[in-house]
């Protein structure tokens, strides 16, 4: 089942994810599937989806399966998976967490609550390094191109004061900032060539700096964090899950 797949239960709060998925399917000129996974009667599920989501693209397919939602969504093997999430919840649902962890395609989490906001023509992508962020950067650039949007590349860095930097911290941070900006420029040129983009190499924690640039974005794109456990989870964090729990805007999580 290729194309765009959106998980939906037929409730009103799935309207925003379905609309986002429909727009994504149109931009890609590909099929859209509304996929239900629950234990209620299949025929009832199909009727609910049709009533709740009018004006879908021609050829939209609605399917319902019995079983665990995450397993059904992952088994559909889409090119793009779209899910709903609650903005500001601070955490993702069990289904979303499973899909973020197991999907082989990008997963987009769309806020299900709050007023609809006008498009601002900005796609923000968070990068960590040249090689590890290349798939994320390329996907974000293609998505910005589809939308005719400005690509905003954000890299958060933290200072390491040693030697002379301990005596002159402001000068040291400024110098490190110049190095971080040059490094980000080289990453982008290596991944995208000389594509015109907006660059931000910001001093601070990844979550805070990425959030700062995403409140007025149409889409935020991040790479899928490696699985951390115990103390490593506290130190490194999993910025993709944290951002999806806050949902400042729709967020795409791209696997490596």
pLDDT at 199: 95
Please check whether residues 210 and 91 belong to one and the same domain. no
Please check whether residues 157 and 199 belong to one and the same domain. yes
Please check whether residues 181 and 234 belong to one and the same domain. yes
Please check whether residues 70 and 127 belong to one and the same domain. no
Contact 145, 173 (CB under 8 A): no
**Residue length, the chain?**
256
**pLDDT beyond 70 at 237:** no
Domain that holds residue 65: 4-111
Does residue 127 or residue 195 have the better pLDDT? 127
Report the distance separating Cα 126 and Cα 139, nearest Å: 12
Please check whether residues 99 and 143 belong to one and the same domain. no
pLDDT digits (tens, 9 = 90+) for 83-123: 999 877 777 889 999 999 999 999 999 998 776 778 899 99
Domain count for the chain, please give it: 2
Is 97 contained in some domain?
yes
Report which of 20, 11, 25, 216 is spatially closest to residue 111, judged by C-alpha positions.
20
Residue ranges of the alpha helices (H) in the chain?
15-28, 42-52, 69-75, 94-102, 134-147, 164-167, 169-192, 206-214, 230-236, 239-246
Does residue 202 or residue 117 have the better pLDDT? 202
The chain-wide mean pLDDT, for the chain, equals 82
pLDDT at 163: 46
Is 117 contained in some domain?
no
pLDDT band of residue 160 (cuts 50, 70, 90) is: low
Last residue of a domain, one of 51, 80, 111: 111
Contact 166, 138 (CB under 8 A): no
Please check whether residues 140 and 194 belong to one and the same domain. yes
Report the distance separating Cα 184 and Cα 178, nearest Å: 10
Instruction: Give the CATH number, domain containing residue 59.
Output: 3.40.50.620
Last residue of a domain, one of 91, 111, 131: 111
Query: What are the beta bridge partners of residue 125?
Result: 153, 221
Helix (H) or strand (E) holding 222: strand 219-223
pLDDT digits (tens, 9 = 90+) for 31-77: 999 998 875 555 544 544 445 566 788 889 988 888 899 999 999 99
pLDDT at 6: 96
**pLDDT beyond 50 at 200:** yes
Does residue 233 or residue 118 have the better pLDDT? 118
pLDDT band of residue 229 (cuts 50, 70, 90) is: very low
206-214 helix and 239-246 helix, angle to the nearest 10 degrees = 40
Please check whether residues 190 and 230 belong to one and the same domain. yes
Please check whether residues 103 and 154 belong to one and the same domain. no
Average pLDDT over every residue of 139-153: 97
Which range of 110-114, 191-195, 216-220 scores highest in mean pLDDT? It is 216-220
In this structure, the number of other CB atoms found within 10 A of the CB of residue 61 comes to 13
Last residue of a domain, one of 92, 111, 130: 111
Residue percentage of the chain with pLDDT more than 70: 80
**Quick one: CA dihedral 240, 244, 245, 248, positive or negative?**
positive
Does residue 239 or residue 160 have the better pLDDT? 239
pLDDT band of residue 170 (cuts 50, 70, 90) is: low
């Amino acid at each position: 089942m290729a194309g765009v797949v959106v998980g939906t239960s037929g409730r009103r709060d799935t309207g925003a994810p379905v609309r986002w998925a429909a727009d994504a399917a149109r931009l890609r000129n590909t099929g859209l599937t509304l996929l239900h996974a629950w234990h209620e009667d299949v025929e009832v599920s199909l009727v609910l989806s049709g009533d709740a989501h009018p004006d879908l693209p021609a050829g939209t397919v609605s399917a319902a399966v019995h079983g665990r939602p995450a397993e059904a969504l992952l088994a559909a093997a889409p090119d793009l998976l779209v899910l709903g999430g609650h903005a500001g919840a601070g955490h993702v649902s069990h289904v979303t967490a499973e899909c973020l962890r197991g999907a082989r395609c990008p997963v987009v989490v769309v806020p299900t609550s709050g007023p609809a906001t006008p498009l601002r023509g900005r796609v923000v992508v968070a990068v960590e390094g040249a090689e590890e962020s290349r798939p994320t950067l390329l996907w974000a650039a293609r998505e910005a191109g589809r939308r005719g949007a400005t690509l905003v590349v954000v890299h958060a860095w933290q200072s390491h004061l040693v030697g002379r930097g301990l005596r002159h911290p402001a000068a040291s941070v400024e110098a490190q900032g110049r190095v971080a900006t040059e490094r980000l420029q080289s990453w982008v040129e290596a991944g995208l060539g000389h594509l015109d983009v907006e660059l931000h190499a910001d001093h601070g924690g990844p979550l805070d700096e990425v959030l700062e640039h995403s409140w007025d974005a149409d889409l935020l794109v991040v790479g899928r964090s490696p699985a951390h456990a115990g103390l490593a989870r506290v130190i490194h964090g999993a910025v993709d899950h944290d951002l999806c729990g806050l949902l400042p805007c729709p967020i795409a999580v791209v696997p490596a």
